[in-house]
Amino acid sequence: MTATPARRALNAAVHAAAKANGLDDDAYRDMLEVQTGKRSAKDCTDAQLRQVLDHLNGVGRAPAPANAARSPHAKLARALWISLHNLGEVSDPRESALRQFVQRQHGVTDLRFVRADQAAPVIEGLRAWATRAGVRWADFDKLEPAFKGRRAVLAAQWRILDAAGAAPAHDMAAHAYGLIRVASLHFCTTAQLDKLLTDLGARVRSLKER
C-alpha cells in the first residue's frame, strides 16, 4: 500500500495501541491475522487498519460496565458466567444478570463489596454448574491460568455439538483453522480462543433452543 502521510499516521497509531495492550510481535501478528487475514500491516488496506485500531482500542467490545467489580474473584465469577452463556446454560450474559443470580442464590448483594472468602461459594457454585454442563476442568490443569479455563470450555462445547451431530467440522483443529487460520489450539492467543468460544457458544445456544 502507498505510504501516504495519513497511512503512516494510521500505521503508527496501530502499533502504539498494540504496545499499549502489551502485545509482543508474535501476539500482534496473530491478532492482525484474526482481524484481517494478513500478518503484516503493510499488506492491509486502510479500512482494515482502522478495524484493527478499533479492536485494539476496544471499540465494539462489550467491556465490563463501569460499576462492575474489579477484584480477582469478581472477574473470575464474571468469566464463569460468560462461560455458562457459551455453554447454553445462561441466556443473559450481562453483569446485571450475574448480580441478580448471586443475590438470589448466595445472598451476595454486590461483588464489589465482598471479600474473597465471601465470594468463594459463588465461584464454587458457578464452577460446579459448568461441570454439570460438561466442563472437565482437570483435563487442562497443566495449562497457564489464562488458557486452561478457555480450553476446558471449548472442549465441552465441542462434545455437546459433536454428540448432537452438529459439529461444524470433523474436529476442533479443522474448525479452528477455518475460523482463525491457526493449525493448533496450542498456538492460539487468548483473543483467538475467545473468538472460537463465541462462535461455538452461538452454535450451542442455537442447538439447545431447538
- Each residue of 162-192: pLDDT tens digit? 999 999 999 999 999 998 888 888 888 888 8
Q: What is the pLDDT of residue 6?
A: 80
Hey, what amino acid is at 41? A
The average confidence (pLDDT) of the chain is 84
Hey, what amino acid is at 73? H
Model confidence pTM above 0.75: no
Given a cut of 60, whether residue 65 has pLDDT beyond it is no
Q: What is the pLDDT of residue 113?
A: 65
Of 26-30, 137-141, 152-156, which range is least confident? 26-30
Integer distance in angstroms from the first to the last C-alpha of the chain? 47
Query: 57: buried, middle or exposed (CB in 10 Å: 19+, 13-18, 0-12)?
Result: middle
- Which tops the pLDDT comparison, 141 or 54? 141
Regarding whether 10 and 44 lie in a shared domain, the answer is yes
Q: What is the pLDDT of residue 61?
A: 46
Q: Which domain holds residue 109?
A: 67-133
Regarding whether 74 and 34 lie in a shared domain, the answer is no
- Which tops the pLDDT comparison, 190 or 63? 190
Residue 62 domain-assigned (yes or no): no
| 196 band by pLDDT with thresholds 50, 70 and 90 | very high
Residues 171-181 as b/e (b if ≥16 CB within 10 A, e otherwise) read ebeebbeebbe
Number of compact structural domains in the chain: 3
Regarding whether 148 and 119 lie in a shared domain, the answer is no
Q: What is the pLDDT of residue 62?
A: 46
3-state secondary structure of 40: coil
DSSP string, 142-209: TS-HHHHHHHHHHHHHHHHHHHTT--SSSSHHHHHHHHH--S-GGG--HHHHHHHHHHHHHHHHHHHT
Residue 207 domain-assigned (yes or no): yes
- Which tops the pLDDT comparison, 53 or 110? 53
| 137 band by pLDDT with thresholds 50, 70 and 90 | very high
Residue 50: partners with Cβ closer than 8 Å, 6 or more residues away: 10
As a whole number of angstroms, the distance between CA 24 and CA 160 comes to 35
- The Cα-based distances of 1 to 28, 36, 38, 151 in angstroms read 19, 15, 13, 38
